[in-house]
Amino acid sequence: MSCFSFRNGAHSRLGCLLIRGLRRQSAHCRPLNGTVWIARPDSLQKPVGGKAGVTPKSEDFNRWYLDVVKFGELADYGPVRGTMVIRPWGYSLWESIQQYLDRRFKETGHSNAYFPMLIPRSFVDKEASHVEGFAPELAIVTQGGGKELEEPLVIRPTSETMVNHMFSQWIQGYRDLPLLLNQWANVVRWELRTRPFLRTLEFLWQEGHCAFATAEEAEKEARDMLDIYVECATQVAAMPVVPGRKSAAESFAGAVSTYTIEAMMSDGRALQAGTSHNLGQNFAKAFDTTFLDSNGERKFVHQVSFGMSTRMIGGVIGVHGDDNGLQLPPLMAPVQVVFVPILKKDGDEAGVMEAVSQLAAAAQAAGIRTKVDADPNKSPGFRFNYWELKGVPLRVELGPRDVEQGSCIVARRDRPGKEGKSNLSMDEKEFVAGIQQALQDVQANMYTAAMDFREANIVDVESYEQLQAAVAAGKWARGPWAGSSKDENIIKEATSATLRCIPFEQPEGLPKPCLLTGAAASEVAIFAKAY
């Protein structure tokens, strides 16, 4: 599996000039929701390297990804190996996911809470498969306030143990159930192979933690929360996902069932973009989390946890980006429309700038996130490339002739070149309506394009040979499966592909012979290389 260390200077070949130049622009990510007149340094007249300096995706997906993260000013490397700084452009993408999920969790009866980050080491050991899964990845605090601690503390890799410690005190009777909590937090997992957003030592996420009286309610919750992740991925991030069940080998350490949404990155790899876990009574038994039911009998609660993280930003990059850089779904874009006034000679400014100001103000008043880039020291082409790299969905081009004619040009980020350009009236009402429609169109088209790509890259296989061929070609293999964890491992060792999920949506015509063992398989599973 190819992989880059964060500290590898993957960009050194591009030369210092570009990196410095692009770094300079970072200071200007100011009011994301307002119209801002930005100025950029003089040294940046022409991008070095490919368009805007980004390695073409087709040439080297991994370099392309890192280029987009860096030059798109989404994140930078922290001083500790494997950590990252999420920069404003990247953080705003996280905020759009936060807002959506937070609203949906509250609508479905969950409250936010906050649990301590520092967990006694002994807690992690209480649930057998949990400790097996997480012990190798722990960051451990051994000193506090200048003294050695009596018991080492673990920085949470996830909070099931801490939550159960509290739930066992809070929950007494059946009337205390269901208990539906969520927290927004950072977690630390000591990963060896890291990549910005996709796998980092520290990351941000939400983790839901719920307790129920019955197994049925817990199972329903695990599925309902996965549905919210499906909504968020498809509707907000324009990212098609396959919802399904994880195999035992790929399930969360401590779960009875793990459900997942799997997205296809544009290199054909799978990205696990969100998971929910039916924990059954595993943690309840380890932590004695019990309740008295209505008959006065003491019972263990049934639990669920679920999480989505800043990894989603890596998904947005990898699913939607192209050779020109980032491509943001309008619902996530911190800037939805950038205005680029085109001034060909002195004296043009007044009329054009006035028109731009008016249209930008009208769009902003309608709730559209706008920005004006009127830097006179940059060519229009340079400015076009810059905002394409940043993934802004729409660009409005406006010069003196446009003002005379009362119409401007709107260019769509999702359709590069001439076919993405159209004329739009400068009548304020028509303009705003046109922009709103275009934003909807871009959002819808990005989803369709990603879905088309995915469907074209899933191969239905019936044999191990077909699976191997599909995986070798960088595609997903979907086929009848009745194998064991050991069988999965055979495939993993040979092809690097893992069982991503057993999709909820199953084809007709089953059972069929398992692609590996030949035994009757009542389900198909998807195998792919993954992040």
Site for a second copy in 104-133 (CB under 8 A): 106-107, 109-120, 123
Check binding of 145 to a second copy (CB under 8 A). yes
Q: Which of 4, 5, 51, 141 binds a second copy (CB under 8 A)?
A: 141
Stretch that binds a second copy, among 173-181, 229-237, 398-406, 496-504 (CB under 8 A): 173-181
Check binding of 255 to a second copy (CB under 8 A). no
Give min distance, CB of 323 to a second copy, in A: 26
Check binding of 27 to a second copy (CB under 8 A). yes
The DSSP line for 9-20 is -TTGGGHHHHHH
Give min distance, CB of 339 to a second copy, in A: 19
Is the Cβ of residue 170 or residue 504 nearer to a second copy in the bound state? 170
Check binding of 171 to a second copy (CB under 8 A). yes
Stretch that binds a second copy, among 46-54, 165-173, 218-226, 430-438 (CB under 8 A): 165-173
Give min distance, CB of 405 to a second copy, in A: 35
Q: What is the DSSP letter of 55?
A: P
Check binding of 169 to a second copy (CB under 8 A). yes
Q: What is the DSSP letter of 240?
A: -
Helices 349-365 and 428-456 cross at an angle (nearest 10°) of 70
In 320-443, which ranges are E strands?
A: 337-341, 370-372, 394-398, 407-412, 421-425
Stretch that binds a second copy, among 142-150, 270-278, 414-422, 475-483 (CB under 8 A): 142-150
Closest CA to 497 of 521, 523, 522, 461: 461
Q: CA–CA separation, 129 vs 82, rounded Å?
A: 26
Is the Cβ of residue 181 or residue 439 nearer to a second copy in the bound state? 181
Helix, strand, or coil (residue 182): strand
Check binding of 296 to a second copy (CB under 8 A). no
Give min distance, CB of 457 to a second copy, in A: 33
Helix, strand, or coil (residue 282): helix
Q: CA–CA separation, 40 vs 376, rounded Å?
A: 10
Do 480 and 526 contact (CB within 8 A), yes or no? no
Give min distance, CB of 318 to a second copy, in A: 20
Check binding of 181 to a second copy (CB under 8 A). yes
Check binding of 144 to a second copy (CB under 8 A). yes
Considering only the C-alpha atoms of the chain, give the largest distance between any 2 of them, rounded to a whole number of Å: 86
Q: CA–CA separation, 16 vs 511, rounded Å?
A: 59
CB atoms within 10 A of CB 473: 11
Do 144 and 269 contact (CB within 8 A), yes or no? no
Is the Cβ of residue 139 or residue 361 nearer to a second copy in the bound state? 139
The DSSP line for 328-362 is --TTT-S-SEEEEE---STT-HHHHHHHHHHHHHH
Is the Cβ of residue 189 or residue 413 nearer to a second copy in the bound state? 189
- 80: which 2 tokens? 């500790």
For tokens 């899933």, the residue is 458
Instruction: Let me know the angle formed at the C-alpha of 194 by 193 and 200, rounded to the nearest 5 degrees.
Output: 130
Binders of a second copy among residues 84 to 103 (CB under 8 A) are 84-88, 91-92, 94-95
- 281: which 2 tokens? 């009574």
Do 468 and 490 contact (CB within 8 A), yes or no? no
Check binding of 143 to a second copy (CB under 8 A). yes
Q: How many residues bind a second copy (CB under 8 A)?
A: 82
Q: CA–CA separation, 20 vs 25, rounded Å?
A: 9
Binders of a second copy among residues 187 to 216 (CB under 8 A) are 188, 190-192, 201-202, 204
Torsion angle (degrees, nearest 10) of CA 491, 493, 497, 500: 70
What is the torsional sign of CA 470, 476, 481, 487?
A: positive
What is the Cα 506 distance to its own chain's centre?
26
Check binding of 509 to a second copy (CB under 8 A). no
CB atoms within 10 A of CB 216: 10
Check binding of 177 to a second copy (CB under 8 A). yes
Q: CA–CA separation, 209 vs 81, rounded Å?
A: 30
Check binding of 299 to a second copy (CB under 8 A). no
Give min distance, CB of 430 to a second copy, in A: 30
Check binding of 520 to a second copy (CB under 8 A). no
Check binding of 166 to a second copy (CB under 8 A). yes
Q: Which of 49, 50, 56, 78 binds a second copy (CB under 8 A)?
A: 78
Is the Cβ of residue 155 or residue 461 nearer to a second copy in the bound state? 155
Say if residue 511 is preceded by a cis peptide, omega within 30 of 0. yes
Stretch that binds a second copy, among 71-79, 240-248, 388-396, 450-458 (CB under 8 A): 71-79
Binders of a second copy among residues 5 to 24 (CB under 8 A) are 20, 23-24
Check binding of 456 to a second copy (CB under 8 A). no
Check binding of 313 to a second copy (CB under 8 A). no
Is the Cβ of residue 116 or residue 351 nearer to a second copy in the bound state? 116
Check binding of 172 to a second copy (CB under 8 A). yes
**Which residues sit opposite 153 in a β-bridge?**
120, 141
Stretch that binds a second copy, among 159-167, 238-246, 346-354, 487-495 (CB under 8 A): 159-167
Is the Cβ of residue 120 or residue 380 nearer to a second copy in the bound state? 120
Give min distance, CB of 398 to a second copy, in A: 24
Is the Cβ of residue 116 or residue 474 nearer to a second copy in the bound state? 116
Which residues are within 8 A (CB) of 472 and not within 5 positions of it... i.e. 6 or more apart? 495
**Which residues sit opposite 502 in a β-bridge?**
245
Give min distance, CB of 445 to a second copy, in A: 29
Binders of a second copy among residues 28 to 47 (CB under 8 A) are 28-33, 39-41
Check binding of 173 to a second copy (CB under 8 A). yes
Stretch that binds a second copy, among 179-187, 214-222, 277-285, 483-491 (CB under 8 A): 179-187
